[in-house]
């Protein structure tokens, strides 16, 4: 199969690649070209060690199944690690402000869970696994991989976990401290937040100091 169209643009950035997908062409044309470039024409830049990939869909609105189809093509290359896929949501799919979605499972090495909105994840995030959210991330389990909250630039987002021992944390565009500084963490649930543009860690019981919008239970 020969694909001569140019609906898929692959650009190198400092820490990976960006796939810019045309938002005006037919979806099947787009998928065919993406598959061809991944499997045939761009082997020289898509092979080698782990490459972090950001996918930009422009103004194209896609269903979950269509998004998964695009991700499946990229996952064929075992070294391509998709960390974000940006596209607008259909009106009926947009989460209400402050809404919290609950998911459960295990995010294993090489897997990426992306969610638009706030997420409560019941399970562990293993080293090499990644969770990204446009809002807050709450993990009722161990966070040993990577978590990115406020992926759309929301700097007041937080990341909380029952056991906080991440490979990396990111809130908006701010990255956490090096992994070797996460030794001997507290056994109680903690959360990460930004203060004056720097990553800070505190016990979950102090969350209202940072986010007064969280209601407080006051015992009698």
pLDDT tens sequence across 119-165: 999 999 999 999 999 999 999 999 999 999 999 889 999 999 999 88
pLDDT tens sequence across 119-131: 999 999 999 999 9
Start-to-end C-alpha separation, the chain: 72
Determine the distance from the C-alpha atom of residue 155 to the mean position of all C-alpha atoms in its chain, rounded to a whole number.
15
Average pLDDT across the chain, whole number: 83
Bridge partners of 133? 115
**What is the CATH number that goes with domain 8-86?**
3.30.160
pLDDT tens sequence across 58-90: 888 888 788 888 888 888 877 888 877 877 654
Distances (CA, A) of 2 to 5, 8, 32: 9, 14, 10
pTM of full prediction above 0.75? no
pLDDT of residue 150: 93
Whether 166 and 127 have beta carbons less than 8 Å apart is answered as no
Domain coordinates in residue numbering, the chain: 8-86, 95-210
Close Cβ partners of 26 (under 8 Å, ≥ 6 residues apart)? none
Close Cβ partners of 44 (under 8 Å, ≥ 6 residues apart)? none
CA-nearest of 195, 112, 106 to 146 is 112
**What is the CATH number that goes with domain 95-210?**
2.160.20.70
For residue 205, what are its two tokens?
């019981």
pLDDT tens sequence across 25-50: 898 999 999 989 888 877 777 777 88
Whether 89 and 61 have beta carbons less than 8 Å apart is answered as yes
Strands 168-171 and 159-164: what pairing?
Answer: unpaired
């Amino acid at each position: 199969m020969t694909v001569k169209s140019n609906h898929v643009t692959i650009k190198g950035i400092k820490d990976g690649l960006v796939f810019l997908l045309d938002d005006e062409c037919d979806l099947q044309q787009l998928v065919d070209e993406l598959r061809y470039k991944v499997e045939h024409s761009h082997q020289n830049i898509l092979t080698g060690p782990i490459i972090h990939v950001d996918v930009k869909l422009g103004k194209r609105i896609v269903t979950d199944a269509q998004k998964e189809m695009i991700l499946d093509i990229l996952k064929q290359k075992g070294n391509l690690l998709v960390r974000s896929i940006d596209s607008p949501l259909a009106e009926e799919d947009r989460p209400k402000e402050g809404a919290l979605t609950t998911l459960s499972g295990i995010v294993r090495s090489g897997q990426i869970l992306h969610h638009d909105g706030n997420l409560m994840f019941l399970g562990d995030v293993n080293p090499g696994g990644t969770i990204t959210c446009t809002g807050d991330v709450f993990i009722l389990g161990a966070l040993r991989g990577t978590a990115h909250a406020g992926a759309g630039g929301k700097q007041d987002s937080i990341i909380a976990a029952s056991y906080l021992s991440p490979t990396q944390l990111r809130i908006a565009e701010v990255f956490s401290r090096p992994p070797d500084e996460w030794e001997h963490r507290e056994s109680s649930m903690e959360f990460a937040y930004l203060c004056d543009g720097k990553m800070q860690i505190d016990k979950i019981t102090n969350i209202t100091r940072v986010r007064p919008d969280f209601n407080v239970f006051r015992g009698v």
